[in-house]
Amino acid sequence: MSTSFEVKCPYGWTQSKGTWTCLKLIYNSTATWDGARQACMALGSDLVRITDHEKNDLIANMAMNLSNLYIGLSGTLTSGLKWLDDRNEATFFIWKNPSPALLSVKQCGVMDVKPSAASRWDFKNCVDKRNFMCEKGPKICPEEWIPHAHSEKCIRLFYANLDYITSRIECKQNLIGKDLVTIRDQIKEQFISEQVEAVSKTGWWIGYNNDNLHGNYRWLDESNTPQYSNTDPFGLVTGCIYYSYGSQYTWKAEPCSNKRDYICEYSPVCSNQMYGHNCTMQCSPECAGKDNNCFRQTGYCIDGCKAGYMGSACRTVCRVSTYGDKCSKSRLP
């Protein structure tokens, strides 16, 4: 089954391919940070979240030369830095130098897109009126998970300090298809490095080890030693690989009994036209596309509806007076 998909954006919105979302720059009006959120919500969206440099660059190109554009980041000294209504603190930042200090009162995130500012972020007073960027799209990854469209995975960092086997058990718990992260190419490694850099941990378990059953290091899905690797020569005959943080990122081996934080991933699309937490519910048979697939988190059809049906999950029949794609055609009376 191919899980490749793209989110189709409405007119006036720009596709963010890396996160399966659509973006809209509000440049002809200004609002406070809360007012900007309300304006975005009126469009079925919210202020933008930025989780990697690729998305930051896309927004910079869309909002060229605008100063202090509101984004969906805010924070206080007690709550920490958070995206919108997330419970967990944010992990990716592109601050101006030096980075701003948190205060006891709420501050709101802005991006300065002027060339001299290099599209970096700052904190400003939340009641000031500014331009802003909205974002919308299907809820593909659960809360606290970060979408990575290049690998078609949802990814999350866990700060738990566990041995390798226990990390896998915790990673796989209560969710089919979830496991420690695999890093197949430099694009994904760059994304992972951007997530862990802000939290400055010393090492994270990834899904690569030598359990002495196969005689070499392998990914957890039993695939052979990858063509792409970023290794500090492993040295150990048997061992588990962790992603090492330092002046640069490398993969290092150590005994699997050592304790570290870990990174999990899972696919946002089930196989065989199923959806739900453990892929136990059936997608609508009226989902369009070759595989009739829908998103695991919501059941919304990936490629829209077959002719004669409508709605995000394609379970609503067109009204008597309409027919065709998205029920857009009218029948004669």
Same fold, 14-136 and 146-266: yes
Note the pLDDT tens digit of each residue in 101-139. Answer: 888 999 999 998 877 667 889 999 999 999 999 999 877
Note the pLDDT tens digit of each residue in 261-307. Answer: 999 998 888 877 888 877 888 999 998 887 788 888 888 888 788 88
Q: 146-266: CATH homologous superfamily? A: Mannose-Binding Protein A, subunit A (3.10.100.10)
Torsion sign across C-alpha atoms 275, 154, 81, 126: negative
Q: What percent of the chain has pLDDT over 90?
A: 32
pTM of the model: 0.79
Q: Which of 101, 99, 79, 98 is nearest to 89 (CA)?
A: 79
As a whole number of angstroms, the distance between CA 318 and CA 260 comes to 54
As a whole number of angstroms, the distance between CA 83 and CA 49 comes to 6
Q: What's the average model confidence in pLDDT over 157-179?
A: 87
Q: Where are the domains of the chain?
A: 14-136, 146-266
Bond from prior residue into 138 cis (ω within 30 degrees of 0) = no
User: Among 172-176, 188-192, 328-332, which stretch is predicted with the lowest mean pLDDT?
Assistant: 328-332
- CATH match for 14-136 among 1.10.10.10, 3.10.100.10, 3.30.1330.60, 3.30.1330.10: 3.10.100.10
